[in-house]
Homo-oligomer: A and B are copies of this chain.
Amino acid sequence: MFERIPKEGPTFTKWFDNILEKAELYDYGRYPVKGCGIWLPYGFKMRQLVLNFMRNLLNTSSHEEILMPLLIPEDLLSKEKEHIEGFRGEVYWVTKGGDENLDVKLALRPTSETVISLYESFWLKSYKQLPRKYYQIASIFRYETKATRPMIRVREVTTFKEAHTVHESYKDAERQVLEAINIYRKFFDELGIPYIISKRPDWDKFAGALYTIAFDTVMPDGRTLQIGTVHNLGQNFTKVFEVRIQLADETIDYAWQTSYGISERVIAALVSVHGDDLGLILPPKFAPIQVIIIPIPAKELWDKILEMTRKVCNELRSHGIRADVDDRIEFSPGYKFYDWELKGVPLRIEIGSKEVKTGTVTLADRLERKRKQIAVDNIVKQVKVELEKIEEKIKERAKEWFKAKRFRARNISEAQKMLKKIKGIVELPWCGKEECGYKFEEILEAKVLGSPLPTLEEVKVENLKCPICGDKALTIVRLAKQY
């Protein structure tokens, strides 16, 4: 039986592991390789809905889907020096084929900047071919030495969407960074996952990038989760991979690149942000089943009840609603209610002899768990209205919750108090110096997420001082306990 565990607070990780298993999303922890799991049918469908939405956003903004090799020879991965330094410690190496030792060690890709840059050096010759925007959705591997967590910190990241773009100037690459940010905003907004966008501090940028912009959300225990990153790569990779482009003025220059990625952490956030102690609550757009119809056993009219459930199901399906009937005879209605609540199905319809007699159905929503009778004649319209309402409410609720998890402190002791009490993200004035950044981390026992992007948010720091060194504050620094 399902163990009811409070989602918020210190029991969150236990809640999370339990939900993944009980809602049959992802089987983790039983496989003999640490940090690897299996997507179960229900979880796979949810993942597919999320990915298809992402594909749609990318395809309609001129991104082209490709699929690159998984194996990267050591010398290829090592060409860009900062890049390999950043990844060296967490690369898996293939050293044998059959019984033979390989001449060259092969890395399981930790990311594909090196591979795409090699190909770009073959493909791209002229500014006329630019911009080009590629992406792939595939597995990447990280030999994590930290404690692994399902979907959140895994060794096989099975759902890595990485985009790679090429441009003729720095300015164009900058524009692309903004386009990527806007795509991710739309993506997370639609998922109802609240976020904060920060420019990561220099010491925490992607290995090989000029700078990194990150999306962070807050999990139910108050820790932040990085759910998306956008990198301006400058010419760092194009120089070592010789991606040289003829420009409009006929001079030759190295091309400019960006890259941006998301992973199954998005699914982890979707699960965690919206769920409650009873299980998942899925936004209808990403629910594999939007309406579950349950026939209520009765001594009389059983045939009619079954007939009506099927009719309602077909009616809803024919209008594009993902409906299903649960007619398993071995389980009671109560068990079924509980099972589909656990799986986060937004709407439940009950049909019994009362409903058959009165030409109504009983409609229950997952979010507020309220029931009401509605006329069966009007069912499609009513269901659509209810699904929209639920979606709105889910998003609104998540936004409200997130708002309360983000706060501004005037000084260190206030920040300490709030981090302890409210958890979440604290913001402080900052002079911008790296050494003060480290001090913040040390004193607050938290990680620097970075600073707001002035192009996206207005940062008011006049008359404020960095609480570490006392110098004039130039920006805001954000800190949180991080996953």
| A:79-130 near B, CB below 8 Å | 88-100, 104-106, 108, 115, 118-119, 122, 128
Residue of B nearest to A93 (CB): B96
Q: Mark A14-43, 1 if CB is under 8 A from B, else 0.
A: 000000000000010011110011111100
- Which residues of B sit under 8 angstroms from A104, Cβ to Cβ? 32
| Among A64-72, A302-310, A341-349, the stretch in contact with B | A64-72
Instruction: Give A134 to B73 CA distance when docked, in angstroms.
Output: 33
Contact A30 B66 (CB under 8 A): no
Q: Is A44 an interface residue (CB 8 A)?
A: yes
A27 touches B91 (CB 8 A): no
Q: How many whole Å from A365's CB to the nearest CB in chain B?
A: 27
Pair B65/A33 contact, Cβ less than 8 Å:
no
Contact A36 B71 (CB under 8 A): yes
A139 at the interface (CB under 8 A from B): yes
Please name the residue on chain B nearest to A88 by beta carbon. B98
Inter-chain CA distance A115–B30, complex, in Å, is 11
Q: Select which of B89, B99, B122 is within 8 A of A89 by beta carbon.
A: B99
Chain B CB within 8 A of A427 CB: no
Q: Per-residue CB proximity of A44-80 to B under 8 Å, as 1/0? A: 1100100000000000000011111111110110000
| Interface residue? A12 (CB, 8 A) | no
Contact between B65 and A38 (Cβ–Cβ < 8 Å)?
no
Interface contact A66-B40, CB-CB below 8 Å: yes
Asked if A170 is at the interface (CB within 8 A of a chain B CB), the reply is no
The reply to whether B156 and A71 form a contact with Cβ atoms under 8 Å apart is yes
Across the interface, do B95 and A89 meet the contact criterion of CB distance under 8 Å? no
Q: Are A143 and B89 in contact (CB under 8 A)?
A: no
Please name the 4 residue pairs, one residue from A and one from B, whose CB atoms are nearest each other, closest first: A97-B143, A41-B64, A36-B69, A39-B67
4 additional A-B pairs beyond A32-B76, A98-B143, beta carbons within 8 Å, are A30-B122, A45-B65, A92-B106, A138-B139
Q: How many A residues, CB 8 Å from partner?
A: 58
A158 to B393, CA, bound (A): 41
A31 CA to B33 CA in the complex, in Å? 29
List the B side residues contacting A90 at CB < 8 Å. Answer: 97-98
Given contacts A99-B89, A119-B27, contact A139 B94 (CB under 8 A): no
A188 CB to closest chain B CB, in angstroms? Answer: 23
Contacts of A33 in B (CB 8 A): 69, 71-73, 106
Q: Which residues of B contact A330 (CB under 8 A)?
A: 128
Are B97 and A92 in contact (CB-based, < 8 A)? yes
A-B contact pairs, 23 of them (CB 8 A): A30-B122, A33-B73, A36-B70, A38-B69, A44-B64, A44-B66, A44-B67, A45-B65, A48-B65, A71-B155, A88-B98, A88-B99, A89-B99, A91-B97, A91-B98, A92-B96, A93-B94, A93-B95, A93-B96, A94-B94, A96-B105, A98-B143, A100-B143
Q: Is A145 interfacial (CB 8 A cutoff)?
A: yes
User: Which A residues fall within an 8 A CB radius of B?
Assistant: 27, 30-33, 36-41, 44-45, 48, 64-73, 75-76, 88-100, 104-106, 108, 115, 118-119, 122, 128, 134, 138-139, 141, 143, 145, 155-156, 158, 330
Contacts of A93 in B (CB 8 A): 94-97
Is there contact, CB below 8 Å, between B94 and A65?
Answer: no
Residue contact B66 to A119, C-beta cutoff 8 Å = no
A92:B94 contact, CB within 8 angstroms: yes
Q: How far is the CA of A56 from the CA of B38 in the complex (A)?
A: 22
Residues of B within 8 A of A75 (CB): 32
Given contacts A32-B76, A89-B99, A97-B143, contact A122 B67 (CB under 8 A): no
Distance of A191 Cα from B93 Cα, bound (Å): 39
Interchain CA distance A90-B98 in the complex, whole Å: 5
B41 near A66: Cβ-Cβ < 8 Å: yes
State how many angstroms separate the Cβ of A462 from the closest Cβ of chain B.
46
CA distance A37 to B122 in the complex (A): 13
A39 pairs with B66, CB closer than 8 A: yes
Give chain B residues whose Cβ lies under 8 Å from the Cβ of A95. 93-96
For the complex, give the distance between the alpha carbons of A64 and B48 in Å.
13
Q: A69 touches which one: B31, B48, B105 (CB < 8 A)? A: B31
Determine the distance from Cα of A39 to Cα of B137 in the docked complex, in whole angstroms. 12
Please indicate the chain B residues that have their CB under 8 angstroms from the CB of A108 in the complex. Answer: 94
Contact pick for A65, options B41, B67, B88, B98, CB 8 Å: B41
Nearest-CB distance from A118 to chain B (Å)?
A: 8
